[in-house]
Amino acid sequence: METIDQDIVINENFVILNMEEKTVEGVLSLMAATLFESGYVKDTFKDALLAREEIYPTGLPASCCGVAIPHTDEHHVINPAICIGTIKNPVSFKMMGSPDVSVNVQLVFVLAIKGASNQLNLLQKLMGIFSDESLLSAFKEATSKQQILEHLQKILSLGTN
């Protein structure tokens, strides 16, 4: 198990490779269920995540593939964690700041974070991934959960619990 910042957990259970979902709802529902089944978020998390994504989209165009960083209010979170997913065939997310524009997303980071400053700090670190074409490609092309965790360790300076 790995932790970052304020005991934010990321582990192999929170990495989903080659999702075959075809919609934003399908992708986010699967990722939210993964966090819920592990006891990291409340049963309200999925609906809150979907509702927030509709109002404040998180799709971002990047060099090799689109990325999304969905999150919601901290009162839906029990224990802070990040769920990372790769999507086999791109799913159309609305673009952050321009909801009338679509982004074909293949890499999703669902954030279950407590504290606005922790969320901002984590978002800033994740932006480092999006501006590094080789690292972003490494995430997209990863064939194992361990590879995803190793790439995330590099960018977020994860420490072992």
Pairing of strands 59-60, 2-4: unpaired
Q: Using alpha carbons, select from 122, 29, 116, 112 the residue that is nearest to residue 72.
A: 112
Residue 71 annotated as catalytic = yes
Distance (Å, rounded) from C-alpha 159 to C-alpha 110?
20
Structure tokens at 161: 């619990």
What lies within 8 Å, CB to CB, of 8 at 6+ separation is: 80, 81, 82, 113, 118, 122
Q: Name the active-site residue from 71, 75, 76, 151.
A: 71
C-alpha to C-alpha distance for 140 and 88, rounded to whole angstroms: 9
| Active-site residue list | 71
